[in-house]
Structure 1
């Protein structure tokens, strides 16, 4: 079948086709109206949103954790989804492969969730309370500092050095937290201070 169209008729027919296709794409078609009735609710509607920082490297990307239950209230919540925070100035919603897999990191059966102690001569770790862990760390730090703190060097110059203990700080923190951590370490006289960002 041969159809003879003038240029004007072709343009009119093309314009009508574009208009009809556009109306259908915007949801004015009968098929689209039927589909709207069967749309299921968004899966994150009933979850609690918690903003946080990715724990991996020193970039400190913003993340949003979606959980059943409220993490901020201390509820036992289950994290069901993790995504990048589009409002965060560092990553603007993007995540690297490690950050994108954070849900698996949180749900890993080998993830450390509480303090563990391996006593001298033992071949296994035992769970201890947070209070026990803090008390043990404080006691060991105090004993080491008392035994090894150098107030003055050989020339008699005040140096206030504690060189037998080092500190490794986290890098996924705010500037204020990093400042306070550094001041804490230097206030004790710790010389060996490094950051996770270089590791």
Structure 2
């Protein structure tokens, strides 16, 4: 018998193809009522999984501005539509009710933590980056044009994906930082 001949004769395959009288026994009203989670999506965005540096392609389905499903991208030359368990669960990064929407902050010389919303925390960070760049900017050094700041540095992690590392490098270069490293190279 050929290697695939037995598969075509397998009862479940025959039932699903409708090739035997028991095909309706393999179906139910509940099964017939099921619809794909992607059916009502208004847009589909191509992205890359955020969990590791492999860069598996993802299709992000969005309905009314909310992520409804994330699946592997079959056109991705890296993952060919497959995702690991972490990548398959990445929808929870943006939709899980337990997702953090605030940060803990301890003020200088403070003894306790206070909760801040993300917008406030981002404004505080942006203010500090701008102030540090302004205070530590060097236009020239020993008569040479350097246009840099030694007050800002970055040490990235290997858990960041290609998109994140690319954007971080662009940001730090635009700020004039020259101390940009990644732990994967150290």
TM-score range, shorter chain: 0.5 to 0.7
User: Given that residues 58 and 171 in structure 1 are in contact (C-alpha distance below 8 angstroms), is that contact kept between their aligned partners in structure 2?
Assistant: yes
- 1:44 to 2:72 alignment: no
Counterpart residue number, 1:93: 81
* Aligned pairs (5 A) from 1:111-190: 111-114=99-102, 116-120=104-108, 121-130=110-119, 132-153=120-141, 155-167=142-154, 171-173=161-163, 178=166, 182-190=169-177
Please say if 1:62 is aligned against 2:49.
Answer: no
Say yes or no: does 1:31 pair with 2:29: no
Count of aligned positions? 167
Per-residue deviation at 1:114? Answer: 4.2
Q: Classify 1:134/1:127 alpha carbon distance in 2 versus 1 (closer, same or farther; 3 Å).
A: closer
Q: Report which of the two has the higher share of strand.
A: 2
Q: TM-score, normalised by structure 1?
A: 0.62
TM-score, length basis structure 2: 0.65
Question: Measured at CA, do residues 101 and 22 of structure 1 come closer, stay the same or move farther in structure 2, by a change above 3 Å?
Answer: closer
| Contact map agreement 1:144 1:164 (CA 8 A) in 2 | yes
CA RMSD across the alignment? 3.7
When you count helix as a share of all residues, which structure comes out higher?
Answer: 1
Structure 1: stretches of 5+ with no match in the other structure? 1-17
Instruction: State the structure with more CA Rg.
Output: 1
Q: Are the counterparts in 2 of residues 150 and 159 from structure 1 also a CA contact under 8 Å?
A: yes
Distance 2:101 2:44 in 1: 19
Q: Evaluate the alpha carbon distance shift between residue 54 and residue 125 of structure 1 in structure 2; reply closer, same or farther with a 3 A threshold.
A: farther
